[in-house]
Structure 1
């Protein structure tokens, strides 16, 4: 059965994207970018530090990492708490052993509850990014503008110097970017642009979106798809090598991935984590930096 032509009519349809946050430029028409260092690609590591309440709200949806069984789900609650008490320190040590700095995306509730952890992250020289209030505070269209502003304001008060933002569950409203720019955030990790920094327009200036790849997330690959830790590590190294190999045609590109404390901080995955980080360090043409540093590394088209 053929649909009536009226089903294909859309009064707002126009050439390009269906939003005005950035211009539409097909991948084969983009000017290749270069890194100021002369290296061929950049990568950034994000470590989410999250608070999961024992009885989380189900609306608008449950956070992907939230409790799985009926209240009180002590098994999953204590596993996530283990990540903030034990697993994260294994990640900190693995990063220190190879001399890498990461972006630690921190819930405001974590800063309240685990102040020694936050101090350890800061003393190690890692970037602190704002990661919303908690996993129970999802940004969604059911919030009023005032409610969302209050969520962001609470985070800004907790992290006054943070440049980078990542929403809980990486979920936004249509106004989140405008409010983030208004609050002084410069980098956002919620969208997944095509392996390069992307300046997004807001009512309060631009904010840079970086490609934090959900397809390389340890949560996605190790929990959702039940892959082995060595396979997860190998895929990230393959992604890094792909970006290096694509330099001649596509120029310098970048990508990010996550290290979740209650996942890769488990003792039976630490060796894979160490092998991954050593592998990244062993790629001399790859620059591994924090999210806040990424966009400043790229030369704009025409710059020398």
Structure 2
């Protein structure tokens, strides 16, 4: 991001579905990846002058407990459903989870899920950070996930979607290959960075379960119908990517699981999806499209 410019110059304008037209393995029409946000919310985090962590005065026991449900119960229910229907996860990880709840990280790794960084805690924001602090978080993310899982992270989703003007340049400098922080396209594309090569990975706010249940006040059935209509349209158009961003404390509630399973069954039965992980999409794109 470039400070003080009306157009930050993060990427070129490209009309939708202009060349290059992407071809997915096996002639599939749409690459589908599920992104479980495995997050840790602190009960009483350090205050950030730019944004409050909780709506209530700290400590917010209600907000903390609601989100902790995802780690204690919802993750396991969500993960078992995904595995049942052959969907791997691409984990947007609060990397402090590797210390706080290593059992969850180990379970996701055993399922063959990919990990990328969602910062250290989802209650600590990038706003106001200097470059040294931001570098420390990136280095911590790479080191912590590698020590816990053996994986070297390829991707980034900023903690609580908070950034500085230097975030994308820094993650590219450290060798990450994709960012989920740009919501501007249904196809991957190039991001302008000072060095290295960075791909924008289609992520979604519109079909994110946080927006579905917290912002749009959807019922489970309405949310499932939205996901199915999103999938059908992207499969019809072809060369597209569909991300399903999830939070275990939301989708993992018992009353939502039947609707979630209906979505997974629909995608599998349709047969046009490359059901995959975000890093595999980035690698496939980079192999098809020259830098």
Q: Quick check: TM above 0.5?
A: yes
Question: What is the RMSD computed on CA atoms of the aligned residues?
Answer: 2.0
Unaligned 5+ segments in structure 1 are 1-10
TM-score by length of 1: 0.86
**Is the Cα–Cα contact under 8 Å of residues 216 and 258 in structure 1 kept in the other structure?**
yes
Aligned-pair CA distance for 1:197: 0.8
Report what 1:96 is aligned to: 83
| Within-5 A mapping of 1:52-71 | 52-56=41-45, 57-62=47-52, 66-71=53-58
User: What is the TM-score normalised by the length of structure 2?
Assistant: 0.90
Partner of 1:155: 141
Q: Choose which of 111, 124, 134 in structure 2 pairs with 1:124.
A: 111
* Structure 1 counterpart of 2:288: 300
Matching of residues 1-304 of structure 1 within 5 Å:
18-27=7-16, 29-56=18-45, 57-62=47-52, 66-140=53-127, 142-160=128-146, 161-247=152-238, 252-298=239-285, 300=288
Instruction: Tell me if the contact between 1:193 and 1:210 (Cα under 8 Å) persists in the aligned partners.
Output: no
69-78 or 126-135, which moves further after superposition?
69-78
Bigger drift between 194-203 and 120-129 goes to: 194-203
The 8 Å contact of residues 210 and 255 in structure 1, kept in 2 or not, is answered as no
What's the offset of the Cα at 1:33?
2.4
How far is 1:72 from its partner?
2.8
Residue in 1 that maps onto 2:149: none
**Judging changes above 3 Å, is the alpha-carbon distance between structure 1 residues 301 and 164 closer, same or farther for their aligned structure 2 residues?**
closer
Measure the CA separation in 2 of the matches of 1:48 and 1:301: 29
For these two proteins, the number of residue pairs brought into alignment is: 280
Question: 1:289: Cα distance to partner?
Answer: 0.9
Change (3 A) 1:185 1:29: closer
Task: Quote the offset at 1:246 in angstroms.
Answer: 1.9
Q: Contact 2:177–2:282 (CA<8 Å) still a contact in 1?
A: no
- Asked whether the equivalents of residues 48 and 124 of structure 2 are also in contact (C-alpha less than 8 Å), the reply is no
Deviation at 1:297, TM superposition (A): 3.4
Q: Does the CA contact (< 8 Å) of 1:32 and 1:301 recur in 2?
A: no
Cα distance in 2 between the residues matched to 1:112 and 1:187: 25
Asked if the contact 1:156/1:183 (under 8 Å) is kept, the reply is: no
The answer (yes or no) to whether the contact 1:54–1:67 under 8 Å persists in 2 is: no
CA offsets 1:80-133 (integer angstroms, 9 cap, x no match): 111111100011100111111011111121111001111011011111111101
Residue 4 of structure 1: aligned partner: none
- Bigger Rg, structure 1 or 2: 1
- Secondary structure, counterpart of 1:258 in structure 2: strand
How far apart, in 2, do the equivalents of 1:292 and 1:71 lie? 37
